[in-house]
Amino acid sequence: MHLNEESLERLIVDQMVAGGWAEGAPSDYMASYAIDLGHFTAFAEQTQPDLTEALSLDAEGPTRHKFLSRLQGEITRRGVVHVLRNGVDHHGHHIDLYYPTPAPGNAKAAEMFEANRFVITRQVHHSVTNTGDAVDLVAFVNGLPVFTFELKNNITKQTVDDAVQQYQRDRDPREPLFAFGRTIAHFAVDDQRARFCTELKGTSSWFLPFDQGFNDGAGNPPNSDGVMTDYLWRRVLSPHSLAGIIENYAQIVVEKNQKTGKKKSKAIFPRYHQLDVVRRLLGDVEANGAGRRYLIQHSAGSGKSNSIAWLTHQLTETTHEGRVAFDSIIVVTDRIILDDQLTQTIKAFLQVGSTVVHADKSGDLRRAITAGKKIIVTTVQKFPYILDDIGADHRDRTFAIVIDEAHSSQGSKTSAAVSRALAGMDAEDEDTVEDRINQIIEGKKLLPNASYFAFTATPKNKTLEMFGEPVPNPDGSTGFRPFHSYTMKQAIQEGFIVDVLANYTPVGSYYKLMKTVEDDPEFDAKRASKKLRAYVEGNEHAIAQKADIMVDHFLAQVVAKRKIGGQARAMVVTSSIARCIQYFHAIRDALAARKSPYRAVVAFSGEHEYKGMKVTEASLNGFPSNAIAEQVKTDPHRILVVANKFQTGYDEPLLHTMYVDKMLSGVMAVQTLSRLNRAHPAKHDTFVLDFANDADDVQGAFEPYYRTTLLAEETDANKLHDLINDLDSFAVYTPEHIDEFVRRYLAGEPRDRLDPLLDVCVAEYIEMPDEDDQVRFKGSAKAFLRTYNFLSTVLPYGSAEWEKRSIFLDHLVPKLPAPKDEDLAAGILENIDLESYRAEKLNAMKIVLDDEDGSLTPVPASSGGHRLDPELERLSAIVRSFNDHFGNIEWNDADRVERFITEEIPRLVSEDEAYRNAQANDDPVNARVESDRALSQVMLRLIADDTQLFKEFQDNSSFKHWLAEAVFNATYRKGA
């Protein structure tokens, strides 16, 4: 046998027939009606014999043509999935076109399901006009086509891409078989990859990957039992699996444009990871019932909204040990728009339209649960308040809580409110303090009668420990990992999101300050440096210069190069509302100076003062706040300037470029830059110009989330014992204080009975002779509350002593005044002025992330409470340290020198073997000696490349000292 396209075609048909399909005959296909008339008639005769004569299915003539025209019209209007689920009515007859999956024990339904005809046919001549044209394979259900296939073979040097092009080039969407809704999807397949399209539109047809993923990326793993893509026809399209797809996943939804009012139909079909995660979750519920936790780490671009909708719908009917597993499914989201998506998708399925409600106001959730509503959608902002109003007893009910964008906030007081409300706990029923304490402890734990399904792209350590799967470590400790993941790596490789780190350019700021007073006062160097940086970066001249850079770049590199087909937008991320308003005006002025037709839009919360006037985003923009997202999509609005708003959770595919002037770290850096990653057919790249962060920090923020994120180990509960010992040692309170306060508090006594107990402790705190002790006590108390609030939800046991301290400290900490902390940098801004400022783009770069699972450390349980002694320096020294970098040396080639100092010299020093050995031995003193020695050797080697740089190093002691310090700090931290 030749390993050609025909051999793959034959293999697929043989394996599908072995799996329960029948092979059809091409001659049975009627191209004008896109139907396998032979199998359609046989199905109708077997299941509805009285209709055969009434519709004249077995004879050519007007009666049959009228029915086939009616059937074709219904499929054209509603789609093949709708008519399979609902049948069709014709002249007083109802014709069933498909029998659904039977419930366990329903023999009649099982018999009818077996009557369904799953048929796969080779070389189907699909065209009415070009009768010689044939598509490789067509899959039929009861004579109605549900999938087409174009096959290619890598061995003959044709791939899935060639199959895609064949659909785009040779398959006419005006042909009945290829018209919208006439089939569920069209598959392009070779022996290694699979892709699908739900609507053919010529060269605009968008084919999505249907691969399993390999090494957390795109593609498929090697298959020891056959062809790499046989999971598609052997598993996904097996009759029972396909039945589930028809009944629960495939759908045509109607989307309404809120601006124009126009409606558009869109076909949805699950990608492989969506089908896989929902089925795995449902399988685990069937096996284990309620009371489990699941963390689903799905990247942006994963289609999370549809995954949640498919899961939520099917959880309503999932059974465990013969009964429905959940009485109600509560969906908690922080995105209002998801409400509509969920409702729209879920209500399209059979018999569940009336079960979806929205809990928007106090009492809604209580009424919905009491009324037996199956699916309740609410927002995370309203959830705690809604739960407070639930009065019914729900301890005998089971719940599925589906959390969209789960974050660590789910683990503290919100989680406790959820648990208490759904458990139906009524505090007034208990008599003793001990009973009340035990009840509170139980209320904080994740409910045993609820399962939690937590979806997030960027899980934090708390989220992993709360919802993740425990994994034993070799040392006996426990780590945690997600139940299912679809990684950033796979989403980028499959083209569902754009790599926002592929074009990253930092901007260096160089400025020269001058002292404006004759005397030389002392200031706290670290605080002064922060104030000076804030002063310089927020200076009107600096803002204007940076705005010029942004506008010039946007017009020349984004607009002129017609990014995203000439529709590209930009976002400016600022560090505060005041800075945001400054930037808005500066960018507006820069656009006007260049006579650009485009305008900026500003987004911030509240009313603020700017140059003596009260301003809001609406007054500056000229339209209401709720119109910002829509206005940004329409000209002339092209640049969105934000302060926190729109920095996370904003999905706009037209965003191409981001200008960052805000320090970012960790998850916030990932979520902010990821505003650019939404895919668009005309979007091929993105661009980041960063004025505030460096590439190493951004790389470090992204790496934990590039592949599957793991938690190295669980939080050590013994840290709570340590914190209590530390707190007790300060003698701010006594055990009797705590017991008496908790007793009065739980009894609901008034404030004038509670405050005196706290005030006595506050007085003891204030009388501490050492302010450092105050810092340590308050820091330890905050650490205890933070750690206990989290651990109380996940530990299998509770402690009355911990809970009582939690209640007591929760009320005491807000009353503790901050230690007096004299600002030893006050007044410095009145004594300096900005002499010069320049911002220069550094080299553009592609930040490459490590191709390995990310790892997070557990929740920190240390107090972190300590004060740093101020480092007093003369004003002249502080200004000089700012200027010594580049401010007072007139370099012949500043860019070249900058590259040597920031890249070449640290790299060469870090490669010195003696210096590396000193780092490996963890000897910082010796390492500094070796670093300075290596630096001297490197500078000698650079004498031929840059004489001025070597001369400054030899003759300028302050520059030499600064360079030695900078190189050591950069390289020793990396090596340590």
The burial class, CB within 10 Å (0-12 / 13-18 / 19+), for 929 is: middle
Asked if pLDDT for residue 774 goes beyond 90, the answer is no
Judge whether 686 and 657 are in contact, CB under 8 Å.
Answer: yes
Average pLDDT in the chain:
81
The burial class, CB within 10 Å (0-12 / 13-18 / 19+), for 446 is: buried
More confident position, 558 or 903: 558
Identify the residue whose tokens are 């105050």.
774
pLDDT of residue 898: 62
pLDDT of residue 318: 93
pLDDT band at 797 (very low <50, low <70, confident <90, very high): low
Asked if pLDDT for residue 850 goes beyond 90, the answer is no
Q: Lowest mean pLDDT: which of 493-502, 597-606, 847-856, 917-926?
A: 847-856
Residues 284 and 386 reside in one and the same domain:
yes
Contacts of 881 (CB under 8 A, 6+ apart): 525, 529, 873, 962
Give 222-267 as a DSSP string: --TTS-TTHHIIIIITSHHHHHHHHHHT-EEEEEE-TTT--EEEEE
Q: 699-724 in b/e burial notation, b at 16+ Cβ within 10 A? A: bebbbbbbbbbbbebbbebebbebbb
CB neighbours (10 Å) of residue 475?
6
- The amino acid sitting at 731 is A
pLDDT of residue 305: 83
CB neighbours (10 Å) of residue 843?
12
Asked if pLDDT for residue 412 goes beyond 60, the answer is no
Give all strands of the β-sheet with 135-141 in edge-to-edge order.
22-23, 118-124, 135-141, 144-151, 185-189, 194-197, 208-209
pLDDT of residue 23: 97
Residues 917 and 802 reside in one and the same domain:
no
Asked if pLDDT for residue 16 goes beyond 80, the answer is yes
Asked if pLDDT for residue 851 goes beyond 80, the answer is no
Task: Write out pLDDT tens, residues 414-452.
Answer: 555 555 555 544 434 445 565 665 666 555 566 677 888
Task: Write out pLDDT tens, residues 884-902.
Answer: 544 445 556 656 666 677 6
More confident position, 684 or 448: 684
Q: Lowest mean pLDDT: which of 118-122, 801-805, 809-813?
A: 801-805
pLDDT of residue 345: 59
Distance CA 476, CA 713 (A): 10
Residues 704 and 722 reside in one and the same domain:
no
233 found inside a domain: yes
Asked if pLDDT for residue 874 goes beyond 50, the answer is no
Q: Lowest mean pLDDT: which of 177-191, 217-231, 818-832?
A: 818-832
Between β-strands 323-324 and 319-320, what pairing exists: parallel, antiparallel or unpaired?
Answer: antiparallel
pLDDT of residue 546: 86
Between β-strands 469-472 and 478-481, what pairing exists: parallel, antiparallel or unpaired?
Answer: antiparallel
Q: Which residues pair with 471 in a beta bridge?
A: 479
Residues 699 and 734 reside in one and the same domain:
no
pLDDT band at 248 (very low <50, low <70, confident <90, very high): very high
Residues 9 and 127 reside in one and the same domain:
yes
824 found inside a domain: no
pLDDT of residue 142: 97
Asked if pLDDT for residue 52 goes beyond 80, the answer is no
Residues 724 and 707 reside in one and the same domain:
no
35 found inside a domain: yes
Distance CA 741, CA 756 (A): 10
In the structure encoding, which two tokens stand for residue 677, read together? 């990653």
Query: Of 648, 665, 701, which Cα lies nearest the Cα of 849?
Result: 701
Asked if pLDDT for residue 381 goes beyond 80, the answer is no
pLDDT of residue 97: 96
Task: Write out pLDDT tens, residues 740-769.
Answer: 998 888 888 888 888 898 999 999 888 888
Q: Lowest mean pLDDT: which of 126-130, 469-473, 506-510, 550-554?
A: 506-510
pLDDT band at 855 (very low <50, low <70, confident <90, very high): low
Residues 125 and 215 reside in one and the same domain:
yes
Among 815, 846, 873, the domain boundary falls at: 815
φ, ψ at 255 (rounded to 5°) = -105, 135
Q: Domain of 18? A: 5-253
Residues 517 and 439 reside in one and the same domain:
no
828 found inside a domain: no
More confident position, 662 or 868: 662
pLDDT of residue 843: 63
Residues 447 and 547 reside in one and the same domain:
no
107 found inside a domain: yes
Residues 651 and 767 reside in one and the same domain:
no
876 found inside a domain: no
pLDDT of residue 875: 45
Percent of the chain with pLDDT over 90: 36
Task: Write out pLDDT tens, residues 359-372.
Answer: 777 577 777 777 77
CA atoms within 13 A on the CB side of 301: 24
291: domain CATH number is 3.40.50.300
pLDDT of residue 693: 85
410 found inside a domain: yes
Distance CA 165, CA 161 (A): 6
**Per the structure, how many domains does the chain have?**
5
pTM: 0.75
Task: Give, to the nearest 10 degrees, the angle between helix 735-746 and helix 433-444.
Answer: 80
Q: Quick one: DSSP state of residue 558?
A: I
Residues 95 and 192 reside in one and the same domain:
yes
Contacts of 622 (CB under 8 A, 6+ apart): none
pLDDT of residue 427: 39
In the structure encoding, which two tokens stand for residue 169, read together? 């080039």
Asked if pLDDT for residue 123 goes beyond 90, the answer is yes
Among 684, 711, 738, the domain boundary falls at: 711
Beta strands in 550-664 (DSSP E): 569-574, 599-603, 608-610, 613-615, 637-642, 655-661
Residues 452 and 317 reside in one and the same domain:
yes
pLDDT of residue 310: 92
864 found inside a domain: no
Distance CA 901, CA 886 (A): 11
Among 486, 514, 533, the domain boundary falls at: 486
φ, ψ at 205 (rounded to 5°) = -60, 130
